[in-house]
Amino acid sequence: MNDLIHHSRIEPLITEMGSQEVKKLINSVLTEVRQSIISGKVTSIALDQIVQSIIDECTLKRRPSLEPVINGTGVILHTNLGRSLLSPAIKDYINRIMFSYSNLEYNLQEKRRGLRYHHVEKVLRELTGAEDVLVVNNNAAAVMLTLDTLVPSKEVIVSRGELVEIGGSFRIPEIITKGGGTLHEVGTTNKTHLSDYQAALNEDTGAILKVHTSNYRIIGFTERPSTAELQQLAEVADIPMINDLGSGLFIDLSKYGLPKEPLIQEAVANSDIVTFSGDKLLGGPQAGIIAGKHSLIEKIKSNQLLRALRVDKLTLAALEATLDLYRNPKRAVREIPTLRMITLEMDELTRCANDLANKLNTVNGLSVKVIPGSSQVGGGSFPGYEIPTALVSVQLPEDYSATRFEQLLRTGPIPIIARLEHDQILLDVRTLQAGDTEIIYNRIAELVK
Ligand SMILES: *Cc1c(COP(=O)(O)O)cnc(C)c1O
């Protein structure tokens, strides 16, 4: 033990982990060594081998649980893989706030307490066109807080076609009842008329809620009143029209060939309250944004629950900097990874795919080709829409199991998440980032030996 503790390669471990922890590890490694000697599995062992085992144990123990992965699935807003990537353009800004005191809740001009929400208010008002805004922890919180404030113990009218469940068991009907409200369903799954809403109005009605069907599509024989019609109806009834957009978009991507998703500005112009996520199409950090009428936002701001749902300074820093990129829409599309990946041109995708395929084809025994396929935006946006993409298809040598190979990619030192289809490993280059090609090549070359 003494020799090990003072070994030149062990000493740095003590600096990092403390001597208690390292001693424990040494003990457990030594116990294992003794046992293998007793059982006859090992007859002799060199000190260097023991030292290496200790270092390996330390590395394993200290491997962070939350770690970067390579997304080869082509799903851009992959909720399980952390949704939006922040723009590298905002790195410095976040860094400055993270490691320094800040005016988070301090009004420097007036030498008094300020509001954390204030920092993103101006830019959000400008971008959304809303009278007032509020940022909370995520969009689920935004919806809950809004309903809790505006319609406690009242009826909320929702179309039967919009009783959405988002992943993670966030269901609109349950959210309404949780907030103490009552769900008043109107219409049918495929058709809801303005007159259905009108007929449902009564003295207990607290709000009309419109929910963007962000993760499914109802097609065929369908009808839905426009947002503007619903707002007019709500205005006559003197109740708010709340519009849960889910994934909000500031820039019309139809000029990049994508179907039309509702724009935040349009929703705000035709609703009393709009709620949307920060880390879906917006491409920022996890956050929920509530935008709308000043009088309603004021009420929401004074809800006691807000404290429990409030955003952290890291979120605010990332959000403010991301929103700043939107001042120039062209720059936003270029520099916000979510938007850049959605709008990647086929030329560029093919080039990347060829690059990866050529590299992989140098590995003995692999048969790699580039094939056409489709990517999904994911994260509750552009439901059912598939964007044409270029896939790198890897056919393994005969004695390799594709299922096992996919697992080895997924559980390696830098996890690589690939698609597995018909005994082939598929990598969608749309969601690969700079440097990923090299890592994928190295890992695959290491596995196919
Ligand atoms: C995604 C989504 C939510 C929840 O948003 P989070 O930011 O994930 O909390 C709520 N409503 C709709 C319509 C959504 O698409």
Ligand 1-lining residues (CB < 6 angstroms): 138-140, 143, 164, 166, 170, 211-212, 214, 244, 246-247, 277, 288, 380
The rounded distance, in Å, linking the Cα atoms of 358 and 350 is 12
Residue 168 has pLDDT above 80, yes or no: no
The rounded distance, in Å, linking the Cα atoms of 85 and 67 is 14
Q: How high does pLDDT run on average in the chain?
A: 94
Condensed to tens digits (0 to 9), the pLDDT of residues 28-71 reads 999 999 999 999 888 888 888 899 999 998 888 888 999 999 99
For residue 67, the CA-to-ligand 1 centroid distance in Å is 24
For residue 283, the CA-to-ligand 1 centroid distance in Å is 14
Nearest alpha carbon to residue 161 among 203, 222, 101? 222
What mean pLDDT comes out for the span 203-224? 92
| Residue with CA at minimum distance from ligand 1 atom 14 | 246
Determine the length of the chain. 449
| Residue with CA at minimum distance from ligand 1 atom 11 | 246
Which two three-digit tokens encode residue 60? Answer: 């394993």
Q: Note whether 244 and 214 are within 8 A (CB).
A: no
Atom of ligand 1 nearest to the CA of 287: 7
Condensed to tens digits (0 to 9), the pLDDT of residues 314-361 reads 999 999 999 999 999 999 999 999 999 999 999 999 999 999 999 999
For residue 276, the CA-to-ligand 1 centroid distance in Å is 7
From 145, 166, 227, 261, the mutation candidate for ligand 1 (largest count of ligand atoms within 8 A of CB) is: 166
Q: Radius of gyration over alpha carbons of the chain, in Å?
A: 27
Which two three-digit tokens encode residue 448? Answer: 């196919």
Condensed to tens digits (0 to 9), the pLDDT of residues 231-252 reads 999 999 999 999 999 988 999 9
Atom of ligand 1 nearest to the CA of 141: 9
Q: Which domains does the chain have, with CATH numbers?
A: 2-62 (no CATH), 70-79+340-447 (3.90.1150.110), 88-335 (3.40.640.10)
Q: What percent of the chain has pLDDT over 90?
A: 82
What mean pLDDT comes out for the span 115-136? 97
From 277, 281, 289, 377, the mutation candidate for ligand 1 (largest count of ligand atoms within 8 A of CB) is: 277
Say what the pLDDT of residue 332 is: 97
Q: What percent of the chain has pLDDT over 70?
A: 100
Say what the pLDDT of residue 392 is: 98
For residue 3, the CA-to-ligand 1 centroid distance in Å is 57
| Residue with CA at minimum distance from ligand 1 atom 15 | 246
Q: Note whether 295 and 255 are within 8 A (CB).
A: no
Say what the pLDDT of residue 179 is: 78
For residue 216, the CA-to-ligand 1 centroid distance in Å is 13
Say what the pLDDT of residue 170 is: 87
For residue 388, the CA-to-ligand 1 centroid distance in Å is 26
User: Chain centroid to CA 188: how far?
Assistant: 32
Q: Which region among 1-5, 146-150, 165-169 has the lowest average model confidence (pLDDT)?
A: 165-169
From 136, 147, 170, 176, the mutation candidate for ligand 1 (largest count of ligand atoms within 8 A of CB) is: 170
User: Given pLDDT bands bounded at 50, 70 and 90, which one contains residue 382?
Assistant: confident
SS (H, E, C) the chain: CHHHHCCCCCHHHHHHHCHHHHHHHHHHHHHHHHHHHHCCCCCCCCHHHHHHHHHHHHHHHHCCCCCCCEECCCEEECHHHCCCCCCHHHHHHHHHHHCCCCCCCEECCCCEECCCCHHHHHHHHHHHCCCEEEEECCHHHHHHHHHHHHCCCCEEEEEHHHCCEECCCEEHHHHHHHCCCEEEEECCCCECCHHHHHHHCCCCEEEEEEECCCCCCCCCCCECCCHHHHHHHHHHHCCCEEEEEECCECCCHHHHCCCCCCEHHHHHHCCCEEEEECCCCCCCCCCEEEEECHHHHHHHHCCHHHHHHCCCHHHHHHHHHHHHHCCCHHHHHHHCHHHHHHCCCHHHHHHHHHHHHHHHHCCCCCEEEEEEEEEEEECCCCCCCEEEEEEEEEECCCCCCHHHHHHHHHCCCCCEECEEECCEEEEEHHHCCCCHHHHHHHHHHHHCC
- CB-based contacts of 114: which residues, under 8 Å, 6+ apart? 103, 104, 105, 106, 107, 108
User: Given pLDDT bands bounded at 50, 70 and 90, which one contains residue 311?
Assistant: very high
Q: Note whether 258 and 269 are within 8 A (CB).
A: no
| Residue with CA at minimum distance from ligand 1 atom 6 | 139
Q: Note whether 255 and 329 are within 8 A (CB).
A: no
Q: Which region among 129-133, 390-394, 422-426 has the lowest average model confidence (pLDDT)?
A: 422-426
Q: Report the relative pairing of strands 367-378 and 165-166 from DSSP bridges.
A: unpaired
Condensed to tens digits (0 to 9), the pLDDT of residues 413-425 reads 999 999 999 999 9
For residue 341, the CA-to-ligand 1 centroid distance in Å is 21
Please name every residue paired with 249 in a beta bridge, in sequence order, or none if there are none.
Answer: 263
For residue 245, the CA-to-ligand 1 centroid distance in Å is 8
For residue 137, the CA-to-ligand 1 centroid distance in Å is 12
Say what the pLDDT of residue 444 is: 97
Residue 436 has pLDDT above 80, yes or no: yes
- CB-based contacts of 433: which residues, under 8 Å, 6+ apart? 70, 85, 337
pTM for the model:
0.93
Atom of ligand 1 nearest to the CA of 143: 10
Which two three-digit tokens encode residue 33? Answer: 């060594």
| Residue with CA at minimum distance from ligand 1 atom 13 | 246
Atom of ligand 1 nearest to the CA of 79: 8
Could you give phi then psi for residue 126, rounded to 5 degrees?
Answer: -65, -45
Q: Note whether 275 and 143 are within 8 A (CB).
A: yes
For residue 165, the CA-to-ligand 1 centroid distance in Å is 9
- CB-based contacts of 412: which residues, under 8 Å, 6+ apart? 443
- CB-based contacts of 110: which residues, under 8 Å, 6+ apart? none
Strand order through the sheet with 273-277: 132-136, 288-292, 273-277, 241-246, 205-211, 155-159, 182-186
Atom of ligand 1 nearest to the CA of 172: 11
User: Given pLDDT bands bounded at 50, 70 and 90, which one contains residue 449?
Assistant: confident
The rounded distance, in Å, linking the Cα atoms of 10 and 29 is 13
| Residue with CA at minimum distance from ligand 1 atom 2 | 246
Which two three-digit tokens encode residue 293? Answer: 């009428």
Say what the pLDDT of residue 2 is: 82
